[in-house]
Structure formats: C-alpha cells, structure tokens
Amino acid sequence: MTSPTAQATLRIASRRSQLAMVQTHWVRDALTQAHPGLEISIEAMATQGDKILDVALAKIGDKGLFTKELEAQMLVDRADIAVHSLKDLPTNLPEGLILGCITEREDPADALVVHERHRDRSLATLPEGSVVGTSSLRRLAQLRHHYPQLSFKDVRGNVITRLEKLDSGEFDCLILAAAGLQRLGLGDRIHELIDPAISLHAVGQGALGIECREGDTAVLERIAVLEHRPTALRCRAERAFLRQLEGGCQVPIGVNSRFTGPDNSGDLVLTGMVASLDGQRLIRDSVTGDAGDPEAIGEALALRLREQGAGAILEEIFASVRPEA
C-alpha cells in the first residue's frame, strides 16, 4: 500500500443529502486541518434509500440501503473512504471493506419536533389521535408501547422535507435524531429530548463511521485522527449486540450505552431492547462489563434478550416486513 507521505490526495464518497454533505464537509475540514497539503475531493451520489421515497424502508430491504453505492466506489478504487451516519451502516460489511474509525458522538437521543399548534404540549400530553411521523420501526414500536393512544404515519424524505411536511399540517409531530437536527443548525426545532426510558436510540446513532478498504494503511493512518475512543467502545458494543441479533436498521432494536465512571471511565453499561411492531411485547435488559472488550458485552446482552424471547419476536418481524421477491 502507499505510504501516508506519498499519498497527497484523498477521495471521499458521500450521500448527497444536505445532512450527509454537512457531515462529510466536517470530516474533510478536520482531515485538512490535521494534514496540511492533503488534497481532498468529494464524490456525492444518491443511494437506493435516497431514491425510493414512496415506500416504507422496511418494505424495500434494510441492509445497505444508504451505503451500497458508496461502498462500490471504494471497491472499484474511485473513492478512498465513505462517510456514513453510523446508524445506517450495516454491521456486516462487504469483503475488502472495514470500519476505519468512529467519530465523537453527538447526543444520540431521539427528539420530538412539534407543529406550532402543540408548542405547549409534550410527548406525554399530546391529544389522543395525534399523528406522529416516523420512518423508524424502532421508534414506532417503543412509542406504541408507551403511548398507544397516538396515531403513527410513515414519513420519508430528508430532514428538511420532513419538517416542511410537519409545518404544512400533515403531521402533529415528528420523531427525529437530535444529532441530525443539531448538525443542520436546527437545534431550535427540538421541542423535547425523549428520555431513554421511553425510547432507546438506534445502534450508532449520533456518531459518524468512516469506512475504507481493508489493509489501506495510508488511509487508515490519515483518518485515525478522527477516532474518538470512548464513542468507538460504546458503538462497538452496540454493533455487536445488533450483529448477534441479526437485525437491520429497520428492526425494532434500540440501545443505550454509558460508562459507570466520570469522564468515560469505569465499566461499560449496555442497555438493549427488542419490541414487537405493535408495541405489545417489549423486552429490555442491561449488561455491565469491561469496556476493553465491548463486543463481549454486546454479545452477552443479545444472548440474554434471546433467552427472554427476543428471537421469536424478531422472527415474526422478519417474516412480516421481508421485501417481496
């Protein structure tokens, strides 16, 4: 492989949505600052998940909807890295590609965004029948479990498009990732951060994952400056949990991770949840372990939930949302 000093260019593959470009520009700027003289180019493209907006994500398949096109660019040597919202990156990557680093996490919480008419309401006090917009089966299942009196409707499109639909009156509220709103400069639209007791977040939510070719030493050394070890440990535990359950991003699996000590010290606590689509059954538990082996923590929690019936719930879901041939 080329040495870091010999490679003066870096090619980034990215989705072309507004949020993806904000995230990719952040990565570009951080790398430029760390490596003066490095020439960085960005190749933006639409993925399958960006193109199909009239069908629920779960109905068109859940693995790689937002990543396959970017990965193809690296595999044919047209890009060196791809920038992903880590929650969109499948836990099993194509042969020859690896997760090179994980950036420091923004707030991973889900956020409530309301129509103006509900500015004095909270999620718990929304009127019965209020229409909640979400494209996530994870959010849907948990909110149905806690607030069965609400009505839920699928919403697709980028963050701006979804907010426009909300403001036009099509929805009473939306559930979005707080991190995405913050990165877009729309933090003022966050009406309420949803407590993890109500909604555990998606695996990897709030962090960026930088994917690259396996064995590309030059690239790995360059992007190492972006790695945030505490975030990486937490997300590795979360991804191991999801991988062990064989769940994609469109399955009702939620997590929360934290360290027991101050300043990201101590053991790692991983909480996980699996729920049925109707929210009637929800299995939730936690495992605490040595942060030095995060994968073991994730796998142990997955096994614990399976023993409590999570496997049966997931099999039912896979059968009900499996894309048509």
Structure confidence by residue, pLDDT tens digits, 47-75: 654 444 444 444 445 555 568 889 999 99
What does the buried/exposed string (b/e) look like for 60-72 if buried means 16 or more CB atoms within 10 Å of the residue's CB? ebbebbbbebbbe
- The answer to whether 177 and 110 have CB atoms below 8 angstroms apart is yes
- Strand ranges (DSSP E) for the chain? 9-15, 39-45, 81-85, 97-102, 110-114, 131-133, 151-153, 173-177, 192-193, 208-213, 253-259, 268-275, 282-289
Which of the residues 50, 62, 80, 88 is marked catalytic?
88
**Superfamily name with CATH number, domain 1-105+207-227:** Periplasmic binding protein-like II (3.40.190.10)
Percentage of the chain surpassing pLDDT 70? 89
CB atoms within 10 A of CB 224: 12
Please, how many CA atoms are within 13 Å of residue 103, restricted to the half-sphere of its CB? Answer: 25
All CATH 3.40.190.10 domain ranges of the chain, comma separated, are 1-105+207-227, 110-193
Output the pTM of the full model: 0.90
All CATH 3.30.160.40 domain ranges of the chain, comma separated, are 228-325
What number does CATH give the domain 110-193? 3.40.190.10
Catalytic-residue membership of 88 = yes
The structure tokens 């718990």 sit at: 124
**Each residue of 134-154: pLDDT tens digit?**
989 999 999 999 999 999 999
What number does CATH give the domain 228-325? 3.30.160.40
